Structure 1
Amino acid sequence: MTRRERSMPIDNSEQIAEWNGALGQRWVAMQRELDRIVVPFGDAALKAAAPQPGEQVIDIGCGCGDTSIEIARIVGAAGAVLGIDVSQPMLEVARSRGALANCAHLAFRFGDASEAGLPENIDLLFSRFGVMFFSEPTQAFGHLRKSLRRGGRCAFVCWRTPRDNAWAMTPLSAARTAMGVTPPPADPNAPGPFAFADADRVRALLSGAGFGGIDVQRFDAAVSLGATPRSAAESAVQIGPVSRFVREVGLEHLPVILDAVERALAALAAPDGHVSMNGSAWIVSATNPA
């Protein structure tokens, strides 16, 4: 495959630094818990993407490689899959998993997909919650689109609004209450998990980047947080919005926050103690005009 380089830089340095520090290490350590949250949504996005045998695919924000390996299985030896991510800790796991899967047509690469040189004539761009962190999303999607062949496809999943995702916001609300914190109004379009919550904005971004055939569909699924309120709370304070809040207020407050989150989740637990809450996302698909 030939590669194409960008000439205009995009500054995602803050995000990249986070994913190569403690955040990336936490996501590696909590991979099993994260899978409980994201796998149903990723499976729905893969169904919409419909990779085919022999296709060439880029998996954007591939993380620990789950979706890349599954796509490689589908496209087979006649195809090729490149997983790209900005987190070296997660890529180390991805490469180990890829080696165990014995997929010679699967490769992983460190890089910022919004500006990295990418293979050309790609059939499919895919992402499971990996595209909401771009500092300049229209520019980033325009760059990505140029790697697609004419008629090539783009498919990704992104979270809807915070209020539609109780699994994330219930623990955060409990943590804020425990600390007596009332957050200032946030920029809903700032890079982060909920940056693409507005479906109209997603359509506008993709259209502005030159995509056509844009389709945005709601997908809801139950998010399993843990077998007990305590285990669910322990997961919540390490990943998702609560983990960032803990860093903001100081780790010395972690015991108080953990107890508050546990109490909030206990009130919602099933009779057997399991904690499951609603999650809601957009399944987005688009094409590079022929």
Structure 2
Amino acid sequence: MADKVYVDNVEATAAWNTVLFDRFSEYRHIFVTALRRFGDDALAGDPPNAGDRILDVGCGFGDTSRQLALIAGPDSHVTGIDAAERFIAAAVEEAEADAAENVAFRVADVQTEPLGGPYDYAFARMGTMFFANPVAAMRNVRKSLRPGGRLVMVVWRRKLDNEWMYRSEQVVDRHVPKPDAEASEALTCGPGPFSMANADTTGDILKAAGFDTISFRRIDIDMLVGGDPEEAVAVALALGPAAETVRLAGDDAERVRPLIERDLLALAGEYRTASGEVVAPASAWVVGARAPA
């Protein structure tokens, strides 16, 4: 797939506000269950303090924002920010239903818009990998923190260590010529989920953004990717590298979709557990940093 040059977050925001929101909502029971395990590990190792003012970057449905508010207690306040209006609408509705009084949400492009603050703590669970200009975005986060304020973010490690995403993309690649992302009219999600997989690259981004005391901790888990093999195939073709290739390839992919589904189903069988669920090894970084005191 030809690399695409992103000059702003407009296309990624449009994607997350339309097709990706719909697909994430449909398979939320899979994605949120999987991602929460990474977030729980990160928060157990470096939680906010009681009473902290907290920024939740790329908050999605707001479940992380409500979790942060519970950890930091009733005297804390959490602001969840996402560029996609539909995610924020869902987050507001669910927070109201949950009577979460110390949580607020707003639509904002983290790369370009004021984020409020000053915050004591910023958190992101898989919410920082899609920026067209990650240095500008992370600099904006750093400016929103008080001196000495902490950043904790979870990002995917390399694709090779996330077997289901890596191998499902390989299946699609066997059947579909690599599409040219620049030529396709399909929306993309920006640089993609593995843009911060390299620790050296991500460390350099944070240094350029003005952070110090940067650390990386690896998390490896067995991640649920489907309640059964059929659902795992549907999930792989909804979100992730395999799904993006299929969307960008358009008719070329649809013509061979039965073959793709057949081979993905065989792959899912390799990861099927005794309970029938499909579970595969997955790996992420917990990245820590501080705003200079």
Q: What does 1:1-290 align with in structure 2 at a 5 Å threshold? A: 11-177=8-174, 179-181=175-177, 191-250=191-250, 252-253=254-255, 254-290=257-293
Structure 2: tracts of 5 or more residues without a match: 1-6, 181-189
The CA deviation at 1:268 is 3.1
Q: Which amino acid aligns with 1:223?
A: M
Q: Which amino acid aligns with 1:274?
A: E
Whether the 8 Å CA contact 2:222–2:282 is kept in 1: the answer is yes
The CA deviation at 1:118 is 1.6
Q: Which segment drifts farther, 118-127 or 244-253?
A: 244-253
Q: How many residue pairs were aligned?
A: 275
| Inter-partner Cα distance in structure 2 for 1:244 and 1:203 | 27
In structure 1, the residue matched to 2:184 is none
Whether the 8 Å CA contact 2:218–2:283 is kept in 1: the answer is yes
| Inter-partner Cα distance in structure 2 for 1:12 and 1:196 | 16
The 3-state SS of whatever aligns with 1:146 is helix
Percentage of matched positions with identical amino acids: 35
> Could you report, residue by residue, the CA deviation over 1:179-230 in whole angstroms, capped at 9, with x for unpaired residues?
153689xxxxx72100011101111111111111110111111111123211
Structure 1: tracts of 5 or more residues without a match: 1-9, 185-189
The CA deviation at 1:38 is 0.9
| Inter-partner Cα distance in structure 2 for 1:258 and 1:245 | 14
The CA deviation at 1:72 is 1.2
In structure 1, the residue matched to 2:3 is none
Whether the 8 Å CA contact 1:49–1:153 is kept in 2: the answer is no
The TM-score with structure 2 as length reference comes to 0.89
The TM-score with structure 1 as length reference comes to 0.89
| Inter-partner Cα distance in structure 1 for 2:120 and 2:79 | 12
Aligned CA RMSD, in angstroms, stands at 1.8
The CA deviation at 1:36 is 2.8
Q: Which amino acid aligns with 2:260?
A: I
> Could you report, residue by residue, the CA deviation over 1:47-94 in whole angstroms, capped at 9, with x for unpaired residues?
233112211001000001110010111222311101011122222221
Q: Which amino acid aligns with 1:141?
A: M
The 3-state SS of whatever aligns with 2:130 is coil
In 2 relative to 1, CA 183–282 (structure 1 residues): closer, same or farther, beyond 3 Å? farther
Q: Which segment drifts farther, 231-240 or 153-162?
A: 231-240
| Inter-partner Cα distance in structure 1 for 2:272 and 2:21 | 29
Q: Which amino acid aligns with 1:86?
A: A
| Inter-partner Cα distance in structure 2 for 1:23 and 1:279 | 21
Q: Which segment drifts farther, 161-170 or 112-121?
A: 112-121
